Amino acid sequence: MEHDYLLKLRQHPTWRLLCTDNSALIISFFYRVFIQPNCRSLKQNELTEKLEDTLFHLRQIQRNKYPKTAKAYLTDWANGENAFLRKYYADNSDEPEFDLTPASEKSIEWLRSLEQKQFIGTESRLLTVFELLASILQTTQTDPQQRIAELEAQKTEIDAEISRLQQGEVISYDPRQVKERFYQLEETARSLLMDFRQVEENFRQLDRRTREKIATSSKHKGDLLDDIFGEQDDIGDSDQGKSFQAFWGLLMSPARQEEFNNLIQKVLALEEVQSCEPDELLPKMKYHLLEAGEKVQRTSSSLVEQLRRYLDDQVWLENKRIMSIIHEIEKSAIAVKQTPPKDKDFIYLDDTKLKFPNNYLW
């Protein structure tokens, strides 16, 4: 990271949130109402009430610490391009809703990472690296013989393990290894949920670019729509788009959902895991993923809806123009009918030569 880059980065919303005067109030409040319960959005009245309660308790300690009203603070935090909150109106709702921006969530996650951990697992992470490396090489292997050799090696290892089990030799994780992998599981789950706000924001940025292109473009409608649909296809065919669709397909599979629930219940029932005092994240993980995924899907579909409205508006405007022209012609025709021209010649065509067929009969 270069010096000039870091100077520019000071304007990033994440940096600005950490440096703002009321950062302790903002970040602690955001964590309590959004991150801790994994809440994706809150209506304005509910969020205002929660902030009023927070301000009331803080003012009991320092009377003049936060002089503004809760509504005024929310307005400040959701104002401008570098806002800490996203304020929007859901479909068929007159009450605004608020959600964290990806930048705000990153700042909170970074602060959480500063907390000193009593136990840092290194073995499980190294094994994860090995497994990812092996998975990449295996799934990109194009030589059938090499792939067969790898599968034969795995088969030999499996046969050896089966033989040991038949002899009564059971190798299992010790409590330390179980805890280490469970902590890594929780960290990965939190990171996955956090990524959804960024994915959703990326789709919203595409939507904004499309709206701006519609509003400012001077292209013919057909050419403009080609560009817009091309951008939409690019998003769907991008690495992020493909990854999200693959994720959504897995999550929507009833068999996968049942397997997911069974695995979570069995893991949480382990004595070693219960000693870790897990929170409510994993038991409700499926519902959190469904909620986050549905929000991304709604954001993505809003682009299609915007295109449909654009087409409808353009057709309506064109029809309105045509009807206006027809109406003017009708008015002119009625005026001519009521006061026909006195001259025999109704209209003159300059420099016009008429040619008739030789067999034309008068």
The CATH number of the domain where 94 resides is what?
A: 1.10.10
Domain identity same for 195 and 211: yes
Query: Which residue, chain included where needed, has tokens 């405007």?
Result: 317
Q: pLDDT tens digits, residue range 4-61?
A: 888 888 888 899 999 988 999 999 999 999 998 888 889 999 999 999 999 999 998 8
Domain identity same for 193 and 293: yes
| pLDDT greater than 80 at residue 207 | no
Domain identity same for 219 and 144: no
Q: DSSP of 260-284, one letter per residue? A: HHHHHHHHHTSHHHHTT---STTTT
Cα–Cα distance, 236 to 88 (Å, whole number): 24
Q: Is residue 350 included in any domain, yes or no?
A: no
Domain encompassing residue 59? 12-113
Q: pLDDT tens digits, residue range 158-205?
A: 999 899 888 888 888 888 888 888 888 888 888 888 777 887 787 777
Task: Look over the chain and give the mean of its residue pLDDT values, rounded to a whole number.
Answer: 81
Q: pLDDT tens digits, residue range 131-143?
A: 888 888 888 888 8
Domain identity same for 97 and 144: no
Q: Is residue 195 included in any domain, yes or no?
A: yes
Domain identity same for 132 and 222: no
Domain identity same for 216 and 312: yes
Q: Is residue 357 included in any domain, yes or no?
A: no
Domain identity same for 157 and 197: no
Q: Is residue 5 included in any domain, yes or no?
A: no
Q: Is residue 349 included in any domain, yes or no?
A: no
Domain identity same for 190 and 300: yes
Domain identity same for 53 and 137: no
Q: Is residue 148 included in any domain, yes or no?
A: yes
| pLDDT greater than 80 at residue 223 | no
Domain identity same for 167 and 189: no
pLDDT of res. 292 = 79
Q: Is residue 354 included in any domain, yes or no?
A: no
The mean pLDDT of 292-314, rounded to a whole number, is 68
Q: Is residue 1 included in any domain, yes or no?
A: no
Long-range contacts of 184-189 (CB under 8 A, 24+ apart): 184/121, 184/124, 184/125, 184/128, 185/267, 185/282, 186/278, 186/281, 186/282, 189/281, 189/282, 189/285
Domain identity same for 141 and 195: no
pLDDT of res. 199 = 78
Long-range contacts of 255-263 (CB under 8 A, 24+ apart): 257/286, 260/285, 260/286, 261/286
Domain identity same for 247 and 269: yes
How many domains in the chain?
3
